[in-house]
Amino acid sequence: MYTVPLPRIGTDVAWRDAAKRLIGAGVSPEDILWDFDNEMGELFATATALPPVTRRIKAPQSFVQMADWVVWHKDPQRFARLYALLWRLRHQPGLMQDRADPELAKLRHMEKGVHRCKHKMKAFVRFRDLRQGGDRRSFAAWFEPTHHTVEPTAPFFARRFADMDWMIATPDVTAQFVDGNLSFHPGQPKPDLPEDAAEALWGTYFCNIFNPARLKVSAMTSEMPKKYWKNLPEAQHIQGLIAGAEAKVQQMRDNAPTLPPERAAKIKRQLRDE
């Protein structure tokens, strides 16, 4: 029996390395316990040294790519499920093309969940200006991801916001980008971030780009689920916009057509004469 400790930061590399050694040594799935971030506690702390790399087993590229996503899922079974599929792949090389295999379908589903979580993180992180002075501007955000997606998503922010320093704090892992260097730290409670005047302008934009004649609340919540609202400054306006929409449209309908402003006739004349 092998108990494999997997760290919260660097999970992907640790799992891949362990899986390579175990599959190479022919260790079957039932003989492995995957221990993420010491969650099993002392009870199972019988760390057996992993077998050395003796034999390299080839896994399809599509499996490796899928595993790189699935390891970040919050399901405690993710490592065991991945390894079980890897185990089957030894004798079923075409398995990755079978989109209807229940085990693969489950993993693909988990992969999609991580994909979505990553995408939502790229979309919904909201930075606040820390106004610290100095050469580089400095921003920070608090975010609550569904899966362990800070680490795989942080490079996106590094590519995008390379000329400023930033921090994304989460209860899971905190990412920091200072002077062009990205680092990861343990998660933390929500920090006190300074107020940012830009949030009021952003709220103004949010309220005015909304078209009250096209109210479709479910279309909004399916893409921007309520669980994200508490960390989105614009979300505080949603209830009011929904409540006032009907009246606003009715007012547009009730208003009698007005006479054109005086300048209209003049401008029209000029246009015609050109």
Partner 1 sequence: MAKLDLSQKLAILSDAARYDASCASSGTTRRDSRDGKGLGSTEGSGICHAYAPDGRCISLLKILMTNFCIYDCAYCINRVSSNVQRARFSVDEVVQLTIEFYRRNYIEGLFLSSGIIQSPDKTMEDMLRIAKRLREVENFRGYIHLKSIPDAAPELIEQAGLYADRLSINVELPTDNSVKAYAPEKNPVTIRKAMGDVKSRKDVAGERSYTGKRGKRFVPAGQSTQMIVGADGSTDATILGQSTRLYGDYKLKRVYYSAFSPIPDATAKLPLIKPPLVREHRLYQADWLMRFYGFGVEEITASRTDGNLDLDIDPKLAWALQNRAQFPVDVNKAGKEMLLRIPGFGTRTVRRILSTRRHRRLRYDDLLRMGASLKKAQAFITAADWSPGGLTDSANLRARFAPPPEQLSLF
Under the criterion CB under 8 A, does residue 194 sit at the interface with partner 1?
A: no
Run of H or E including 242: helix 238-254
Contacts of 260 (CB under 8 A, 6+ apart): none
Under the criterion CB under 8 A, does residue 223 sit at the interface with partner 1?
A: yes
Under the criterion CB under 8 A, does residue 44 sit at the interface with partner 1?
A: no
Q: Please report, as residue ranges, which positions from 150 to 169 form the binding site for partner 1 (by CB under 8 A).
A: 156-164
Tokens at 89, concatenated: 């792949």
Crossing angle (nearest 10°) for helices 102-124 and 78-89: 130
Under the criterion CB under 8 A, does residue 177 sit at the interface with partner 1?
A: no
CB of 136 to partner 1, least distance (A): 9
CB of 244 to partner 1, least distance (A): 10
Site size toward partner 1 (CB under 8 A) is 74
DSSP states along 59-110: --HHHHHHHHHHTTSS-TTHHHHHHHHHHHHTT-TTGGG-TT-HHHHHHHHH
Give CA–CA dist 55/23, Å, rounded.
9
Report the residue from 41, 61, 257, 273 that binds partner 1 according to the rule CB under 8 A. Answer: 257
First to last CA, the chain: 89
* Residue keyed to tokens 């979309």: 123
Under the criterion CB under 8 A, does residue 220 sit at the interface with partner 1?
A: yes
Under the criterion CB under 8 A, does residue 45 sit at the interface with partner 1?
A: no
- Stretch near partner 1 under the rule CB under 8 A, chosen from 29-37, 40-48, 77-85, 255-263: 255-263
Under the criterion CB under 8 A, does residue 204 sit at the interface with partner 1?
A: yes
Q: Please report, as residue ranges, which positions from 111 to 150 form the binding site for partner 1 (by CB under 8 A).
A: 119, 122-129, 137, 139, 141
